[in-house]
Chains A and B, each alone.
Chain A
Amino acid sequence: MIRTQALTKIFTMKKAADITAVQDLTLSVAEGEVFGFLGPNGAGKTTTVRMLTSLIGPTSGSAWVNGYQVGVDDQEIRRSVGILTESPGMYERLSAHKNLTIYANLYDVEDVEGQVGKYLRILGLWSRRDDPAGSFSKGMRQKLAIARALLHEPKILFLDEPTSGLDPEAARLVRSFIEELRGQGRTIFICTHNLNEADRLCDRIGIFSSRLIEIDTPENLRQKLYGRKVVFHLRHLDTDWLKPIQALKGVIEVSPVEQKLVVSMDDPEQLNPQIIKLLVQAGADIQFVGELRHSLEDVYLQTIRESDDKEVPA
């Protein structure tokens, strides 16, 4: 659905050094996939989205969106994708209905009234359809912008910071709507700073800072960085119990933390029963066992930090 090959964008500046916004980006996003594009401010996420939606052209490299090549089939790309821009401006003086009607016509939607009505209802804006968009709250404007991106039923949707600046309730509404869209089999490319949101919504994540640093499922990213860790909460801890556990095949590291044992391992499903058996045989009272999950935020920050460290000259 989306494929890029060494996609690069350099902005030439007249009075300053050139800016490489995107460097050698190679990735592919499959049909129906929700792909999260994470990176710090100024990382080049919006530039990437603009290139993939044929708003701007790449300096070098190539990209295909829905089978169309960026820079060659730009009209077809614009016709087949929907975009929620980072700052989704509306025609403030015009009603929500009029705003959507304009875009439905520009996207050559056949049943303009039907589609406009459908998305106004789905996004809960029907009762406010005749109100000027300028009178809407930020959450309502964001919903209106999402409706605008969907009017022509695009197979691919680009969402640039879809919940940025929204209150928790509005953000939840938008998130659950994205989940619904995912259920419809659309390919969704999300740029976000909200790591919990990315964790919840995305099948795969690309961590990006001018270049792609990591790309994988959230789970695999965690595993790559931290491995899998299981915490055994005990009534009391005897350090003698550590050795036999350490000796088990597949256990990477065992560390005591207060009255807990934190065990890094490859395959907890296989090893947990063996560890529990060893602990019980040794006389340990196990209160409960749980997997230690690092948040995506930890993964993201660690990845970005490591990437920055690599770039610091020795």
Chain B
Amino acid sequence: MKHIKTIIGKEWAEVFKNRMVLFTMIFIPLIFTALPLVMLYFTGQGMDEMAAVTADVPAEFLAVCTAEMSGGECMQVFVVNQFLLMYMMMPVIIPVTIASYSIVGEKATHSLEPLLATPISTFELLAGKSLAAALPAIIVGWFSFGLFLLALPLINVSSIVIGYIAGPTWLLGILVAGPLMAIAAVNFAIFVSSRVNDPRVAEQISALLIVPILGLLFAQVAGLIVIDLLVMLSFIGGMVLVDIGMIYLGVSIFQREKILTRWK
């Protein structure tokens, strides 16, 4: 545990001295928090028009609406639901830069060999690197969601809509699915980082992670899926399996020797 803590402390000490990383960690959550607030504010200004629009929206789009919601509230829920995936994406986007640099970056600066010469185990090293990348993103994600919840009454969002956002689907998405996605993303990025020789290549390949999540977002916008509680629980179940697989793969594929001696 001491070794894991040391690696986390080391990564944070290095990463947080980098202004670009700090900027990403502050800027992205602010954007992701402001966007749904702006949308809710403007849709809240014209609830009657929103209610009228609801009548033209296909029924499957509004599957998340309940009987107690007015037409306008139902539309607001439909609109804000698109941002749930963005919130879940946040812990994937933020740590990828840190994680993709973690192994290949150390290799490039020649600090990997002395690090691997210490009595640290592969599991400790990877756990430290993964947690160092994932934790800040998860915390930032939770914090911005908290901020979003606190801001909702200030822009006169109804208690029914707030109740939906603070309900099980969103909470599971933010508190459970997001972190699970972060763990998968970070492990994938570290896996890539330990297989390439150039930090830029690691970052570019790791960025591909965003593609399936965007796919999910577009599928929801197109009405192909509606993220309700059942979908969320299924997604979480799938992510648990993906995480277990990624962690197992990461530790078993991480070969100190190849990383140190691989030729280009």
Tell whether A pairs with B.
yes
Docked-complex contact B119 and A89, CB < 8 angstroms: no
A12 to chain B, nearest CB (A): 11
A8 at the interface (CB under 8 A from B): no
Docked-complex contact A148 and B14, CB < 8 angstroms: no
Docked-complex contact B118 and A78, CB < 8 angstroms: yes
Roughly how many angstroms separate A234 CA and B9 CA in the complex, as a whole number?
72
A230 to chain B, nearest CB (A): 47
B58 at the interface (CB under 8 A from A): no
| Contact stretch, chosen from A52-60, A236-244, A274-282 | A52-60
Contact of A50 (CB < 8 Å), options: B106, B112, B260:
B260
Given A92-B109, A102-B9, A83 contacting B14 (CB threshold 8 A): no
- Interface residues of A, CB < 8 Å — how many? 33
B234 at the interface (CB under 8 A from A): no
Docked-complex contact A83 and B111, CB < 8 angstroms: no
Q: What residues on A are CB-neighbors of B121 within 8 Å?
A: 75
Given A102-B6, A102-B9, A88 contacting B119 (CB threshold 8 A): no
Contact of A75 (CB < 8 Å), options: B113, B119, B263:
B119
Q: Which residue of B lies closest to A84 (CB)?
A: B114
B20 at the interface (CB under 8 A from A): no
A302 at the interface (CB under 8 A from B): no
What mask results when residues 43 to 69 of chain B are scored 1 for a CB within 8 Å of chain A, else 0?
000000000000000000000000000
Roughly how many angstroms separate A93 CA and B118 CA in the complex, as a whole number?
21
Docked-complex contact B106 and A11, CB < 8 angstroms: no
Docked-complex contact A106 and B118, CB < 8 angstroms: yes
Q: What residues on A are CB-neighbors of B112 within 8 Å?
A: 89
Contact of A103 (CB < 8 Å), options: B18, B114, B116:
B114
Docked-complex contact A11 and B261, CB < 8 angstroms: yes
A85 at the interface (CB under 8 A from B): yes
- Interface residues of B, CB < 8 Å — how many? 29
Docked-complex contact B111 and A89, CB < 8 angstroms: yes
Given A75-B121, A89-B106, A107-B119, A145 contacting B10 (CB threshold 8 A): no
Q: What residues on A are CB-neighbors of B114 within 8 Å?
A: 83, 85, 88-89, 103, 145, 148-149
Roughly how many angstroms separate A63 CA and B224 CA in the complex, as a whole number?
62
A200 at the interface (CB under 8 A from B): no
Q: What residues on A are CB-neighbors of B17 within 8 Å?
A: 93-94
Interface residues in A1-54 (C-beta closer than 8 Å to B): 11, 13, 47, 50, 53
Q: What residues on B are CB-neighbors of A50 within 8 Å?
A: 260-261
Roughly how many angstroms separate A121 CA and B37 CA in the complex, as a whole number?
56
Contact of A105 (CB < 8 Å), options: B6, B13, B115, B261:
B6
Docked-complex contact B256 and A108, CB < 8 angstroms: no
A195 to chain B, nearest CB (A): 25
Q: What residues on A are CB-neighbors of B257 within 8 Å?
A: 55-57
A293 at the interface (CB under 8 A from B): no
Roughly how many angstroms separate A53 CA and B113 CA in the complex, as a whole number?
11
Roughly how many angstroms separate A195 CA and B121 CA in the complex, as a whole number?
37
Q: Which residue of B lies closest to A105 (CB)?
A: B6
B149 to chain A, nearest CB (A): 36
Q: List 16 A-B contacts (CB under 8 A).
A: A11-B261, A55-B117, A55-B260, A81-B117, A85-B117, A88-B114, A89-B106, A89-B110, A94-B17, A98-B13, A105-B2, A105-B3, A106-B118, A106-B119, A107-B119, A148-B114
Chain A residues packing against B (C-beta within 8 Å): 11, 13, 47, 50, 53, 55-57, 75-76, 78-79, 81, 83, 85, 87-94, 98, 102-103, 105-108, 145, 148-149
- Please provide the 6 A-B residue pairs with the shortest distance between their CB atoms, ordered closest to farther: A89-B110, A89-B111, A87-B110, A106-B118, A105-B6, A56-B257
